[in-house]
């Protein structure tokens, strides 16, 4: 087991920092196509998203200095083509890519493939002027590789007929648009070389979109043109249209008609020769600029790796991440506080004097009802006993006896006279009848 030293014991921070440098320095810039998911655009102005396909996904960040140049609004589910550099978000150890350019997949893929093939072939030297073959000064036969029904063939034949009707022409018909066009164009060039009937070839078609002209940007066409023993003039589209075939061909004509003028003989030989030199010079300049552009991109990439904006972008991403964590922590705290308040409110309601007062009032109402009922029952019972006592009193009452015809006699002192022996002459007597009294004097 190798001995451990302070130098080969990593901290997590040091490990993530070195892995980030490895990713950024070794991989450089990559092109990536995928579907957007988890798209987020916080107030900082940066974009965070994932790019995925059917089997994998990768986290991405696009900082506002780059995303402000995007001409569309990205959305989840959209297929895009991005130019990015690999990196690592050190605080979380997340492998990610930093997007520098983004375009919809359909619009950007062809341009990206064009740039890649152009850089590749330029690096191989296929655009070098040293490989260019000189056009014959007086061609004996011209070969035309294009569509037999296209306007380009008509224009070329019209110019040749006007300038040099005696010049023989051989047409190698082929498709100039669609999936099979590139292979057919390469086969036509190969056929012309194997038959060796012509001393110059015009390869081209009329103008169109990048997609229409795409068969002239295929690698097989470029390598077949470079390998041709017969000098080839590329006459694709209009003057503003540029294809890979233009860079590889021995001469580029701005239009098919201009290619016909280059190979036809007339009084403008000197102009043609000058135009040839101009084309070669333009080709040399284009090659020089292509080479210098590649060199500049390499230096720019090396400079970008040391640019402080990358560190600032990582810190901005960290800030966004911390802001998100703070927001989530605040939300959790508020949720917990709200739950605590709700529980306290519930407990307060259970112990509320108002609730107790309501309960006591309810008990008081019940007691009042019970008391009223008890009083009514006691009153009824008293009334019943009172009635019974009245009946008993009436039974033994002297008034009842008086009502049957009897009377009660009393002296003036209120004593009831039971016998005549209890009175004497001159006593005042009161005789109570059922109705009224009789006052008399004993005689």
Boundaries of every domain in the chain: 12-110, 125-263, 266-302, 408-442
What gap in Å lies between CA 40 and CA 45, rounded to an integer? 10
What gap in Å lies between CA 160 and CA 169, rounded to an integer? 9
What gap in Å lies between CA 374 and CA 366, rounded to an integer? 12
- The residue with tokens 């997609």 is 211
Residue 263, both tokens: 């190979």
What gap in Å lies between CA 271 and CA 274, rounded to an integer? 5
Rg of the Cα trace of the chain? 59
What gap in Å lies between CA 56 and CA 21, rounded to an integer? 24
For residues 157 and 169, is the Cβ–Cβ distance under 8 A? yes
Nearest to 103 by CA among 77, 127, 83, 117: 83
Sign, Cα dihedral of 288, 290, 293, 295: negative
What gap in Å lies between CA 235 and CA 256, rounded to an integer? 5
Looking only at the bridges linking them, the beta strands covering 47-52 and 29-40 are: antiparallel
What pLDDT is stored for residue 50 in this prediction? 93
CATH number of 125-263: 3.40.50.261
Q: Please state the separation of Cα 128 from the chain's center in Å.
A: 47
Q: How do residues 342-369 score in pLDDT, each as one tens digit?
A: 888 888 877 777 777 888 888 899 998 8
Count CB neighbours of 244 within 10 A.
26
Q: Please state the separation of Cα 291 from the chain's center in Å.
A: 40
For residues 66 and 101, is the Cβ–Cβ distance under 8 A? yes
For residues 53 and 71, is the Cβ–Cβ distance under 8 A? no
Any idea which fold 12-110 has?
Answer: OB fold (Dihydrolipoamide Acetyltransferase, E2P) (2.40.50)
Q: Please state the separation of Cα 269 from the chain's center in Å.
A: 63
What gap in Å lies between CA 427 and CA 442, rounded to an integer? 5
What gap in Å lies between CA 293 and CA 298, rounded to an integer? 9
| Phi and psi at residue 257, to the nearest 5° | -65, -40
pLDDT tens over the chain, length 443 residues: 455 555 678 888 888 788 788 877 777 788 888 899 999 999 999 999 999 988 899 999 999 989 998 888 899 988 888 899 888 888 888 888 899 998 877 655 676 677 788 889 888 888 888 889 999 988 999 999 999 998 899 999 999 988 888 889 999 999 999 889 999 999 999 999 999 999 999 999 988 777 788 899 999 999 999 999 999 999 998 877 788 999 999 999 999 999 998 898 764 555 666 777 788 888 888 888 888 888 888 777 777 766 677 778 778 888 888 888 999 999 999 999 999 998 888 888 777 777 778 888 888 999 988 999 999 899 999 998 888 888 888 777 776 666 666 788 888 887 888 888 888 888 888 888 778 888 888 88
What pLDDT is stored for residue 222 in this prediction? 93
Give the DSSP letter of residue 266. Answer: S
Model-level pTM?
A: 0.44
- The residue with tokens 């960040």 is 61
What pLDDT is stored for residue 267 in this prediction? 47
What gap in Å lies between CA 128 and CA 288, rounded to an integer? 9
For residues 190 and 232, is the Cβ–Cβ distance under 8 A? no
């Amino acid at each position: 087991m190798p001995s451990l030293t302070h130098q080969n014991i990593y901290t997590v921070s040091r490990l993530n920092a070195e892995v980030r440098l490895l990713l950024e320095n070794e991989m450089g810039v990559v092109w990536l196509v995928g579907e957007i998911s988890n798209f987020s655009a916080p107030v900082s102005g940066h974009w965070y998203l994932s790019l995925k396909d059917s089997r994998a996904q990768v986290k991405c960040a696009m900082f506002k200095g780059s995303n402000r140049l995007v001409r569309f609004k990205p959305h989840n589910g959209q297929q895009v083509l991005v130019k990015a550099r690999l990196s690592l978000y050190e605080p979380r150890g997340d492998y990610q890519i930093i997007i520098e350019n983004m375009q919809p997949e359909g619009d950007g893929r062809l341009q990206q493939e064009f740039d890649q093939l152009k850089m590749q072939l330029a690096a191989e030297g296929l655009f070098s002027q040293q490989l260019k073959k000189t056009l014959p000064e007086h061609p004996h036969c011209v070969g035309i590789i294009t569509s037999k029904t296209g306007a380009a063939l008509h224009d070329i034949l019209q110019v040749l007929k006007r300038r040099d009707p005696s010049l023989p022409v051989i047409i190698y018909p082929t498709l100039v648009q669609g999936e099979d066009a590139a292979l057919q164009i390469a086969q036509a060039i190969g056929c012309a070389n194997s038959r060796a009937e012509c001393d110059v070839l015009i390869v081209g078609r009329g103008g169109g979109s990048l997609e229409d002209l795409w068969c002239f940007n295929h690698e097989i066409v470029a390598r077949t043109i470079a390998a041709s023993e017969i000098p080839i003039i590329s006459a694709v589209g209009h003057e503003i249209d540029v294809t890979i075939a233009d860079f590889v061909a021995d001469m580029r004509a701005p239009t098919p008609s201009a290619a016909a003028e280059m190979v036809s003989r007339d009084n403008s030989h000197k102009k043609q020769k000058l135009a040839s030199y101009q084309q070669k010079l333009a080709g040399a300049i284009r090659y020089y600029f292509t080479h210098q552009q590649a060199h500049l991109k390499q230096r720019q990439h090396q400079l970008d790796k040391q640019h402080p904006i990358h560190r600032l972008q990582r810190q901005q991403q960290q800030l966004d991440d911390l802001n998100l964590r703070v927001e989530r922590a605040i939300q959790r705290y508020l949720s917990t506080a709200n739950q605590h308040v709700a529980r306290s409110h519930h407990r307060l309601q259970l112990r509320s004097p108002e609730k107790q007062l309501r309960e006591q009032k309810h008990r008081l109402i019940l007691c009042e009802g019970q008391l009223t009922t008890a009083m009514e029952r006691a009153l009824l019972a008293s009334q019943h006993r009172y009635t019974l006592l009245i009946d008993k009193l009436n039974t033994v009452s002297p008034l009842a006896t008086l009502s049957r015809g009897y009377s009660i006699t009393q002296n003036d002192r209120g004593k009831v006279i039971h016998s005549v022996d209890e009175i004497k002459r001159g006593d005042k007597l009161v005789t109570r009848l059922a109705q009224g009294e009789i006052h008399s004097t004993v005689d």
